[in-house]
Amino acid sequence: MRIAVAMSGGVDSSVSALILKEKGHEVIGVTLRFHTEECTTGLTHNICCSPQDVRDAALVSQQLGIPHITLSWEEIFKKRVIDYFVQEYLSGRTPNPCAVCNREVKTAFLADYLKKVADIDRLATGHHAVIEDHPQYGRVIKRGKDLSKDQSYFLALIPPESLAILELPIGGMTKEEVREIAKKKGLRVAEKRDSQEVCFLMGMTPGEFIERLMGERKGVIVSRDGVVLGTHRGIFNFTIGQRRGLGISAGKPVYVLDLDPKGNRVVVGDKELLYSKELRVKAINFHVPPERWNRVYAQIRYRSRPVEVRDIVKEGEGYRVILEEKVRGITPGQVIAFYDGDVLLGGSVIEERL
């Protein structure tokens, strides 16, 4: 089988390529270049997709004896991910750029592109998730073995047709097992730190990044009843549920409840007002047809606990999602992923907390 491996220059994708080569497949390493400047920001963390990562991917491919190509997709990445990210923050939302990137650039789109131009049979990635044929649901994505590293949530927006040509070779391993394989095979990236930040932020906060691009957009911070408590440099510096860094004194702890882009206001209030059990989404990306869904759980952010869904009601062009219990900080712009146990049923982007 002719399999392209999306090689980020990290240990997960490198071991994925190794596994597939040892299984006898014709393997091609493919690396996407999104940046032209180095992205390492000190010793505390590493940021992926930098020129050094491209070099690491090429050198690992050389070690493995597989061909390697680099695609310079800086402009595609800017239009489909960075511009989206900036516009969402300016609109008072908190986007998940990694989930969007998996759909628009480096997983689903890349698979379709390589299928057309390189006649590949499959695209493999180093995601910690599993793709398998389920007896009830068909070909599905499941949570990875290493739940502390599970990345199925970030794959919730990829179109279901992409599942037919995707492979996730390390999803059944823990991170420690992946590194041990890399060490035994002498791969140069065996001890390389994981990327832990949004790659294009280069160590900046979202607010710092957007302010550098767009400048200050000063406005006011107000209580729920409209009392002005302070000022801000731009609503893009805040997200729903935030408590620290507000720069105000309200006499008690207050939290960001809402971001009003039209009035350029940050609305704050008591913690209990952050809790809700209903939200609205637009289209749901169904990996499994909804009529086959059974017991459904919703995960409203990457590290949140999945909560059982009471009902999903079609309303106009969207859906109202009703949870069995109130959860804190439902945030417009974030991804909601739907699961049955470990099986990813689909996902959407939160439009509104109800």
Residue positions annotated with a catalytic role: 101, 199
8 A C-beta contact, residue 300 and residue 336? yes
Is the CB of residue 209 less than 8 Å from the CB of residue 201?
A: yes
- Whether 26 and 2 have beta carbons less than 8 Å apart is answered as yes
DSSP assignment letter at 186: T
Please list, residue by residue across 234-248, b when 16 or more beta carbons sit within 10 angstroms of its beta carbon and e when fewer do: bbbbbbbbbeeebeb
Distance CA 237, CA 209 (A): 10
68-72 sheet: strands from edge to edge? 68-72, 26-33, 2-6, 122-124, 166-167
| Closest to 229 measured CA to CA, from 273, 268, 284, 187 | 268
CB neighbours of residue 292 within 10 Å? 12
Question: 52, exposed or middle or buried, with CB in 10 Å at 0-12, 13-18, 19+?
Answer: middle
> What are the structure tokens assigned to 178, written together?
């992946």
